[in-house]
Amino acid sequence: MFFHMILERNMHLHPRHFGRDLRDKLITKLMKDVEGTCNGRHGFIVAITGIESVDKGLVLDGSGYATFPVKYQCVVFRPFKGEIVEAVVSMVNKMGFFAEAGPVQIFISNHVSVLI
């Protein structure tokens, strides 16, 4: 199932990126770091659809890096038990077959017992 969610993340930015286009650098880094990843709580982050807010940064002692809290909108894919999904079969062997539904790889065994 696909959901549209608002999530938060603290972004660390190197001092060489400080300047006029700091916000653009943060957004680019957020998309690179987050899109296509799996978050155990929310599922697979498919795409970032918008930025809610970028709060003031805090410079870390010793390194010069700055941390910026970023709130963003995204589309997540989170399959649930019992959910029917459309998938493409990718491999068949004597034990069963593998199928792919987006970022999820599914194994269906031949040894499924039928309960009546």
**What is the average per-residue pLDDT within 73-90?**
92
Looking at the structure, do residues 11 and 56 belong to the same domain, yes or no?
yes
CATH no. for residue 35?
A: 3.30.1490.120
Q: Residue 98 belongs to what domain range?
A: 81-116
Mean pLDDT, the chain, rounded, equals 91
Do residue 70 and residue 50 come from a single domain?
yes
Range 23-51 average pLDDT: 93
Helices (H) and strands (E) in the chain, counts: 1, 8
Residues 92 and 72 in one domain: no
39 pLDDT band, cuts 50/70/90, is confident
Beta bridge partners of 24: none
Select from 81, 7, 80, 65 the least CA-distant residue to 37.
7
43 and 13 both lie in a single domain: yes
Q: Give the up-direction half-sphere exposure of residue 53: CA atoms within 13 A in the CB hemisphere.
A: 5
Contact 6, 52 (CB under 8 A): yes
Q: Quick one: pLDDT band at residue 37, thresholds 50, 70, 90? A: very high
Q: What is the pLDDT of residue 113?
A: 62
Label residue 115 by pLDDT band (50, 70, 90): low
Whether the per-residue pLDDT at 116 is higher than 70: the answer is no
**Residue closest to 106 by CA, chosen among 94, 91, 39, 35:** 91
What's the mean pLDDT in 29-41?
A: 92
- pLDDT on residue 44: 94
- Could you tell me if 28 and 66 lie in one domain? yes
* pLDDT at position 76: 95
